[in-house]
Amino acid sequence: MASTIFPNSNHQPRVHPYSPSNKHSFAFQSVTTRWPKILTQVIDHLVDQNNQLLDRLPSDPDSQSLKAKLTQGKAIISLISELKYEAARDKELSPLESNQNYTEQENQIILLYNQELSKSKAAGKPTWFSASWLLTECYLYQRLHGFFNRHEHWKNFDPFEHQKLSSFRSSWSAVSNLCLILDRLTKQDKQSSVTDDDLLGRRAQFNELLSACLWGNATDLSLLPNMTHEEIQHLQTSSSRKPESVLRDDSAQVWQTCFDFNSSVPGKPSARRIDFVLDNAGFELFTDLVLADWIVSNSKAAQIVFHPKLIPWFVSDVMKKDIDQLLESMVDPRNFFTSTGTDQSSTNPDQTHDAHFLVVQEIGRRWKSYFESGAWKVMDSSLLSFWTNPLPFWDIASRDTKLLEELRAADLVIFKGDLNYRKLTGDAQWETETPIEEAIGPLNGLFNLLSLRTCKADVCAGLGSGKEAWVSKIDPDWRINGKYVT
């Protein structure tokens, strides 16, 4: 019989997972407010896509194919409307549907979800509000993906791509400024032996770029669906980062473990590897690549491995194609950042000096060369499905031994963003002073990990004594408003 406390995990912690059943939780707010907005935006975008198909019909020689796509588009809109209705009225979570054209990997993920739905039902938690928030939110995006995946003309359609591109296009000022900083840092002379002053300087550089990478997570389109371009630009400036907003800081330990130039680890070769489990596309992905560039230029790391998502996920999560699009936009920055594109938005970087475009272009070309040489690589797609299942990460040892083997081959695994943090901690109702080692359960000790997260969900662990009381007095919404980081 499934556990009634934590039905969707092999590990059974002492606390319950967050659930929309609590009307005072962010989980409840998500089901009742956030998700309807997100699904409505997808419907609106599909209506626009269908209208464009209608405009093309009279003159397009392939009109039969367009008509079929239009018909399927209307069917998908109906399915999304039904999904929206079910969630709002706390209906039972229906099994995910397969398709005769699905791959074995796709069928396996469908089977896993349906098994977890059965466990939740057996535990008396079969509906949108009674099941765990982690299960229902992952289920929402997996089911949405299935609507497109089962229709041939929409199989590879990303309903969030236009939002990801629009958000990044509005980021020119932050992108160009950070590229200028990176260009200066990577062109500094590198000595074969590192002095104490060199070490202090490099550690300061690392801390600054780690901070940029951390705060880049603030622009999460699934959590801030109505964010304006002006608000995005503010979040991307250093003025939005305040030292007192960092609730837990392990950067010194990370530096000592992986970037201490004058130390060696017994049994470890000089060539090292760091993995990024990615979160948001656009500006956050850009900051991830900036940090990765500095790492390969300044440390013993010989390889960076990136883990994107296989499917459109939580609106703005990175897919392999988003990495490719970002690289292309940087190789041709003037065209990308000064054009309106299909999303009809642009930052119009007026009076930008040509040198800025050239620096961005040079860095974009360097990043492409890293991928071509193998210094950077994207994890093989056969090992990526774990990141879009509904399970806490602490189940990895029993669920995906091949992926675990890859993660253990890295000297450090950097988990980006709020959802990854929720999965690391089981999205459970931990007291904030719970040691992080307890909160991540069986994951503790399997490999070195670092979580970079702006707080946009209720779950939080590993804080020092009195920290929760202090921050709650200053800002009662600190857990969910994206203004604080760990």
The pLDDT tens digits for 77-95 are 999 999 999 999 999 999 9
What is the model's pLDDT at position 221? 65
Residue 232 has pLDDT above 60, yes or no: no
What is the model's pLDDT at position 2? 60
Tokens standing for 485? 């980081």
* CA pair distance 93, 478, nearest whole angstrom: 31
Q: What is the average pLDDT across 374-396?
A: 97
57-61, 63-67, 357-361: range with highest mean pLDDT: 357-361
What is the model's pLDDT at position 4? 74
Total Cβ atoms within 10 A of residue 397: 13
Provide the residue ranges of all domains of the chain, joining segments of one domain with +: 26-154, 161-474
C-alpha distance from residue 375 to each of 272, 367, 379 (Å): 11, 10, 12
**CA angle, 276 then 146 then 427, to 5°:** 45
32 Cβ contact partners less than 8 Å away, ≥ 6 residues apart: 20, 88
CATH architecture of the domain 26-154 equals Up-down Bundle (1.20)
Average pLDDT, the chain: 89
Q: What is the average pLDDT across 468-480?
A: 97
What is the model's pLDDT at position 191? 53
Residues 159/42, Cβ–Cβ less than 8 Å: yes
**CA angle, 400 then 8 then 444, to 5°:** 55
**What HEC string does the chain produce?**
CCCCCCCCCCCCCCCCECCCCCCCCHHHHHHHHHHHHHHHHHHHHHHHHHHHHHHHCCCCCCHHHHHHHHHHHHHHHHHHHHHHHHHHCCCECCCCCCCCCCCHHHHHHHHHHHHHHHHHHHCCCCECCCCCHHHHHHHHHHHHHHHHHCCHHHCCCCCCHHHHHHHHHCCHHHHHHHHHHHHHHHCCCCCCCCCHHHHHHHHHHHHHHHHHHHHHHHCCCCCCCCCCHHHHHHHCCHHHCCHHHECCCCHHHHHHHHCCCCCCCCCCCCCEEEEEECCECCHHHHHHHHHHHHHHHHCCEEEEEEECECCCCCCCECEHHHHHHHHHHHHCHHHHHHCCCCCCCCCCCCCCCHHHHHHHHHHHHHHHHHHHHCCEEECCHHHCHHHHCCCCHHHHHHHCHHHHHHHHCCCEEEEECHHHHHHHCCCECCCCCCCHHHHCHHHCCCCCEEEECECCCCCCCCCCCCHHHHHHHHCCCCCCCCCCEC
Residue 132 has pLDDT above 80, yes or no: yes
* CA pair distance 131, 91, nearest whole angstrom: 11
Q: What is the average pLDDT across 382-403?
A: 97
Residue 229 has pLDDT above 70, yes or no: no
Residue 271 has pLDDT above 90, yes or no: no
What is the model's pLDDT at position 482? 92
* CA pair distance 431, 429, nearest whole angstrom: 7
* CA pair distance 469, 432, nearest whole angstrom: 10
Q: Say if residue 197 is exposed, middle or buried (CB neighbours under 10 Å; 0-12, 13-18, 19+).
A: exposed
CATH assignment, 161-474 = 3.40.50.10880
* CA pair distance 18, 419, nearest whole angstrom: 13
What is the model's pLDDT at position 59? 82
Residue 18 has pLDDT above 60, yes or no: yes
Q: What is the average pLDDT across 384-411?
A: 97
pTM of the model: 0.93
